[in-house]
Amino acid sequence: MKVLITGGAGYIGSHTVLCLHEAGHDVVVLDNLSNSSVESLKRVGELTNKCAQFIEGDIRDEQLLNRIFNEHAFDAVIHFAGLKAVGESVARPDLYYDNNVNGSMVLMRAMKAAGVMRLVFSSSATVYGDPASLPITEDFPLSATNPYGWSKLMVEQVCRDAAVADENWQIALLRYFNPVGAHESGRIGEDPNDIPNNLMPFISQVAVGKRAELSVFGDDYDTHDGTGVRDYIHVMDLARGHLAALNYLPKQKGCEAYNLGTGNGYSVLDMVKAFETQNQVPVPYRIAPRRPGDIAACYANAGKAEQVLGWTATMTQDDMVRDTWRWQSHNPNGYK
Ligand code: NAD
Ligand code: UFG
């Protein structure tokens, strides 16, 4: 297949480009490099002996999109491009609604004009808000607590409504749980700007000596050790989930959501201990107050993805912490 990947130079996008190359697909990446560098794609090229065509540009640039769709006969689009920092979204909601919601609408307009109506969209477990029970299935009530979450929920709604209005759309909404890890080569991985918001990049920056200690946000949650529980999923499993969705889309009617998680919940301290044990490196931490907006626990029932897409996560917690550390220790300053 020939596939347009928006945001393909980013963390999850670059691993997915690699996976698609290995599966023999042709890839064109559109990315404005607002949170990434072309170095990731260069390294994917080295690992796969295949170069994705790269176009530097913005998904909100409709003229550019129309030109790209005229020049290439795409079979599908995988849409990663977007902003993802929850705190920043509270401070600058306008940026998030414009980039994530308006950008997705511009993209879908250009797709429809070109008759390319297979779309895989990066959604998030954040659309479940604070779930009433666990594990989470796709039919749980949807809600959001910040503009980032709302932007994902809004794009999901745009997709569902589009698919009702025009039965030619075939859309997979992939709700990721907590993506972590890196390609096993240690050549590509997550390269956050500034201070990481997320747990795993923070742990690995403490381990490599860039930060003094990890703040564990709360140890009084109703979980097995009091710290927050999440469903961490290896980024290569996630990348393969996109491949599975891409392969299934021609058979799918309308718009469907799929949870991509492992179904296992690990606490913050579980992850710290696994990281220390597997990598033989200390991760100093202290208990800090809860982070506003955090929930106690969140993990998936990924049965629908298994039954329908034929996909399950296969990589373990040890794989996640080992590959995170390989990437971080080989590239202490990321791609810089
Ligand atoms: P990332 O920031 O590494 O990748 C996003 C890419 O999109 C970047 O390369 C960025 O430069 C590009 N981009 C942003 N706005 C753009 C625009 N207007 N036009 C063109 N390119 C643009 O993030 P990621 O972790 O790889 O996340 C990919 C997607 O998955 C995002 O939509 C994110 O919201 C979603 N998601 C991520 C997580 C996570 O924890 N990483 C969890 C759930 C969902
Ligand atoms: N945590 C710490 N210290 C840190 C960072 C995180 O203790 O320095 C804790 C959090 O309190 C939470 C857990 O580690 O209990 C995971 O936190 P992350 O920030 O890594 O992940 P979240 O579950 O808060 O959010 C992530 C993405 C969101 C996405 C959500 C659901 O960042 O974009 O998963 O998919 F919406």
CATH of the domain at 162: 3.40.50.720
Beta strands in the chain (DSSP E): 2-6, 26-31, 53-56, 76-79, 118-124, 170-176, 178-180, 214-217, 229-230, 232-234, 254-260, 266-267, 285-288, 297-298
Distances (CA, A) of 194 to 25, 58, 334: 34, 23, 11
In a domain, 206, yes or no: no
Distance 280 CA to ligand 1 centre (A): 31
Closest ligand 1 atom to 99 CA: 18
| CA distance linking residue 31 with residue 10, whole number of Å | 8
Closest ligand 1 atom to 13 CA: 26
| CA distance linking residue 214 with residue 124, whole number of Å | 25
User: Quick check: CB of 106 below 6 Å from ligand 2?
Assistant: no
Distance 7 CA to ligand 1 centre (A): 6
User: Quick check: CB of 34 below 6 Å from ligand 1?
Assistant: yes
Catalytic residue set: 148
DSSP helix, strand, coil percent of the chain (3-state; round to 5): 40, 20, 40
- DSSP secondary structure string, 243-264? HHHHHHGGG--EEEEEEES-S-
Domain extent at residue 98: 2-182+232-261
Looking up tokens 């599966």 gives 23
Q: Is 0.85 surpassed by the pTM of this model? A: yes
In a domain, 222, yes or no: no
Number of domains comprising the chain: 1
60-115 per-position pLDDT tens digit: 999 999 999 999 999 999 999 999 999 999 999 999 999 999 999 999 999 999 99
User: Quick check: CB of 230 below 6 Å from ligand 2?
Assistant: yes
In a domain, 326, yes or no: no
Distance 225 CA to ligand 1 centre (A): 32
- Asked if the model's pLDDT at residue 193 lies above 90, the reply is no
In a domain, 71, yes or no: yes
Pocket test for ligand 1, best of 35, 86, 108, 152 (most atoms within 8 A of CB): 35
In a domain, 288, yes or no: no
Model pLDDT, residue 194: 87
Supply the residue whose CA is at minimum distance from atom 20 of ligand 2: 198
Structure tokens at 50: 């295949």
Give the mean pLDDT of 14-28.
Answer: 98
**Cis status of the peptide bond prior to 135, with omega within 30 of 0:** yes
The residue length of the chain stands at: 336
- Asked if the model's pLDDT at residue 165 lies above 90, the reply is yes
Distance 178 CA to ligand 2 centre (A): 8
Model pLDDT, residue 230: 98
User: Quick check: CB of 182 below 6 Å from ligand 1?
Assistant: no
| CA distance linking residue 64 with residue 70, whole number of Å | 10
